[in-house]
Structure 1
Amino acid sequence: MNRLPLLYLDVDGPLNPFAAKPTRRPEGYTTHRMKPEGWIAQHPFTPPHRVKPLRVWLDPRHGTVLRELSDRYELVWATTWGSEANTYIGPVLGLPLLPVVDWPTGREVLPDGTFWKTRHLVAHAEGRPFAWVDDELGESDRAFVAAHHAGPALLHHVDARVGLRDIDFAVLDAFARAL
């Protein structure tokens, strides 16, 4: 059986351009106020009803393009939102329930600066080709993947001020088609 490559999706940065100017919602995005359990848990001394919801900007067009890419990729949430991405983000974008990478509790950065998610995604991929969109990727992550992953991989940095753009989706499409 020829399995599709994986497309690991981070939420904050690629789908939610959280680093954009707070007073200037990026064009095409809609504002959502969300209070996932993971967010509430980060405020242990605040009663849940007093925790301020997160402002999340999402572009519904991203859902359309991601659904199109699902013909060439198996989409997987690779976000600290965990399974709550299926509850809060997926429905807004019109995505089906997606598999989720379960992160360990420790989030240590390797001494060489490799992002804590990197080694876990390499293990999760188990040699399958993958693309990964995240706002925290760097050269040490690319070096780690090159040294520890047998299959093709695309680590695609997304600017958290602008989120995924057409050019990013074109890169993802080209990578999948080249496999």
Structure 2
Amino acid sequence: MSKSMGSYAWLIFALGTVVTWGLYGIFLHAGQMGMADAANGRYKAFLFVGIAYFITAVLAPAAVLWMNQATWTFPAKGLWLSLFAGILGAIGAFFVLLALGAAFAQKIPNAPGVVMSIIFAGAPIVNAIVAISMARDWSHVRWPFILGLVMAATGGFLVTMFKPVHAPPKKDVPTAEKVSASEPVSAETDPYRRG
């Protein structure tokens, strides 16, 4: 990686996360619906999320550690905190499925967009508050930071309240070409009937 590219590596990776997590909710909901099981579809989808996590979060790092000839020692603090972070992530993914299922059951228009917007507006607020509290660094917080948190919360609220509502699919209206010449025209089949 070049030096100029390296200085922006953090931003490139962060934007990669924005894209993948932005798509996550959409495809998670589609996978849940694709299971064609109203009662257990979300659990079936979550099973495959777990398989995907195993491939990308267990096998891939293990291969990288092996290729880098890393030691296989894991200090207890790092091990348990990392495991806890993984559990939080998995619980979060499960809550996404539950939220999508509940929103779909309540016929909330554009459920994936609404649910994920709330999550992505709220998660940075939680992250900021907890990180600053853990660092005991509230004395260095300036007003633009607080304004940013308020704007994130406001954005989540606005997306939820003013979500786009898609028009229902149009019903198939019979046309003159669809009415068979051999079929007698009646009040029910006449496409030009008024009232």
* TM-score, normalized by the shorter chain, greater than 0.5: no
Structure that is richer in helix per residue = 2
Q: TM tier, shorter chain? A: under 0.3
Structure number with the bigger relative contact order (C-alpha 8 A, sep ≥ 6) is: 1
TM-score by length of 2: 0.23
TM-score by length of 1: 0.24
Structure that is richer in strand per residue = 1
Larger Rg, first or second structure (1 or 2): 2
